[in-house]
Amino acid sequence: MTSPPPLNGIRVLEFAGLAPGPFAGLLLADYGATVLRINRVTPGAHTSTLPPPTPDLLTRHKSSIAIDLKSRSGIALLRALIPIVDVVIDPFRPVVLEKLGLSPEDVLLKLNPRVVVARMTGFRRDGKYAAMAGHDINYIAVAGVLGMLGRKGEKPYAPGNILGDFAGGGAVCFMGVVMALLGRERTGRGQVVEANMVDGSAYLASMPRLAMKGPMWDEARGENFLDGGCPWYDTYETKDGGYMAVGALEPQFFAALLKGLRIDPSSLPGKREDRSTWPALADLFTKTFKSKPRAEWEQVFDGTDACCTPVFSQAELEAAGFDQRPIVTLKNTPAKAIIQSAKDVAQGQGIGVEGQGWSSMGLSPGDGGEELLGKWMGWRRGRQYELKDGGLVLQQQQSKL
């Protein structure tokens, strides 16, 4: 028998932001936290005809209220919520919260000494780029990570925004929040969690960075074992335009790869450890993989230890009914379900969400937020707060308290 998700009962205020902040909030929501997203004022918010969802797609299991952060009564409403929440996610550039009168140390932690304030920035707050705008590509660039990625003789290649925004940003921020909550169990005190994508992505690159002092990664970009330089750790096009991924690093796996490709080891251009043979070996693999469609290569390598697998597209997986799952399985306290009617704890627990991890219905400003205010605070519109110009404000008599 399973118990509720591990973060059940944790209350989170998430200021609307770009990818990493909402992703941290998504992780918290998936693992049971109640996440209230703070959106900007929007015409139609909190009415029977809600405005269209915001561009943010990372809104699963969340609710929303719209607040005018430039309004004193809007800020007053927000301050009134701080004493009853556990986590605040700040996705803004440095000093934005301070300018709003919501300094974590001077205001938020005084209003609620147990609150965890997670501050997510791109650049380091104490670095030369602190005041500059940037995106994932900039953060992994100054972290020394982007310079490691790309083919031989070509410019550095950014892997989408997965490494900075999501891995080094949102996921690291989530981990910091969970550690701070664990620390609070011992000390009774909240704290500020400082996360940034420079440090996050640099830390994720610990292994390749350290490997640069040895033979695994001591050559130029694109000439190493794991960055596309090694012919038995690469991708190859098939006859029908598909691709196979090869990761046969160990000798026994390499032998299984050759067996599947029907290549006689004695016909190789030389010892595989000899880097001078790599171009010829890569050409041999390229020609061999091009001789059959991907489906046939799948039949050859499925069930073997050749470390050779098809490269699936997201569209293929969706069409095949691949089940999207939470990031990690907790056997006794699983996350909330992503897919409908999940029965296996690996898929989470509960009803699931529309789209089943393949599409997002988004979240409209004001959707579900007032119901949550009623549960958290016992508030009702017209008593403790009002709707004004597309956002909620605290009643004047409440603001003076």
Residue at 91 is within a domain: yes
DSSP-derived letter for residue 324 is: P
Regarding whether 240 and 191 lie in a shared domain, the answer is no
Which single residue is written with the structure tokens 């990690």? 328
Instruction: Count other C-beta atoms under 10 Å from residue 316's C-beta.
Output: 12
Structural domain ending residue among the three candidates 270, 302, 320: 320
pLDDT confidence of residue 344: 87
For 137-172, give one letter per residue: b (16+ CB within 10 A) or e.
bbbbbbbebbebbbeeeeebebeebebbbbbbbbbb
Q: Please state, in angstroms and rounded to a whole number, the distance separating the CA atoms of residues 96 and 383.
A: 30
Is 165 annotated as catalytic? yes
What is the C-alpha to C-alpha distance for residues 288 and 335, in angstroms, rounded to an integer? 44
Residue holding tokens 């800020």?
Answer: 75
Distance CA(324)–CA(357), nearest Å, equals: 6
Residues 19 and 147 in one domain: yes
Given a contact cutoff of 8 angstroms between Cβ atoms, the answer to whether 42 and 365 are in contact is: yes
In what helix (H) or strand (E) does residue 13 lie, and over which residues does it extend?
strand 11-15
The answer to whether residues 18 and 91 touch, using CB atoms and an 8 Å cutoff, is yes
Asked if residue 116 lies in contact with residue 129, where contact means CB atoms within 8 angstroms, the answer is no
Determine which helix (DSSP H) or strand (DSSP E) holds 258, and give its type and residue range.
helix 251-261
CA distance 58 to 173: 15
Question: Within 10 Å of residue 72's Cβ, how many Cβ atoms?
Answer: 12
Q: What predicted TM-score, i.e. pTM, was given to this entire model?
A: 0.94
- How far apart are alpha carbons 83 and 80 in whole angstroms? 7
Q: Domain of 41?
A: 11-206+323-394
Question: What is the rounded distance in angstroms from the CA atom of residue 391 to the CA atom of residue 38?
Answer: 10
Residue 114 identity (one-letter amino acid)? R
Same domain flag for 284 and 370 = no
Domain match, 264 and 358 both: no
- Please give the Cα distance from 41 to 43 (Å, whole number): 7
Q: Where are the alpha helices (DSSP H) in 172-313?
A: 172-187, 197-204, 206-211, 251-261, 278-289, 294-301
Tens digit of pLDDT per residue, the chain (401 long)?
A: 789 999 999 999 999 998 999 999 999 999 999 999 999 999 999 999 999 999 999 999 999 999 999 999 999 999 999 999 999 999 999 899 999 999 999 999 999 999 999 999 999 999 899 999 999 999 999 999 999 999 999 999 999 999 999 999 999 999 999 999 999 999 999 999 999 999 999 999 999 999 999 999 999 999 999 999 999 999 999 999 999 999 999 999 999 999 999 999 999 998 998 999 999 999 999 999 999 999 999 999 999 999 999 999 999 999 999 999 999 999 999 999 999 877 889 999 998 898 999 999 899 999 999 999 999 999 999 999 999 999 999 987 555 54
Residue 292's H or E segment, with its range, is none
Same domain flag for 80 and 58: yes
Q: Return the percent helix, strand and coil in the chain, to nearest 5.
A: 35, 15, 50
**Residue ending a domain, choose from 289, 320, 351:** 320
Question: What CATH number corresponds to the domain at position 259?
Answer: 3.30.1540.10
Q: What is the three-state SS of 40-62?
A: CCCCCCCCCCCCCCCCCCCCCCE
Q: How many domains does the chain have?
A: 2
| Pairwise CA distance, residues 63 & 372, whole Å | 8
The CA distance from 326 to 194, in Å, is 25
Cβ–Cβ contacts within 10 Å for residue 360, how many?
15
Q: Examine the domain organization and report whether 102 and 245 are in the same domain.
A: no
Output the domain CATH number for residue 341.
Answer: 3.40.50.10540
Residue 37 one-letter amino acid: R
Question: Which pLDDT score is estimated for 401?
Answer: 47
Q: Active-site residue among 30, 56, 165, 234?
A: 165
pLDDT of residue 341: 79
CB 56 within 8 A of CB 25: no
Same domain, 242 and 381: no
- Phi/psi at 66 (nearest 5 deg)? -105, 130
Compute CA distances 101 → 40, 72, 321, whole Å: 17, 10, 48
Please report whether residue 285 resides in a domain. yes
User: Among residues 305, 320, 335, which one ends one of the domains?
Assistant: 320
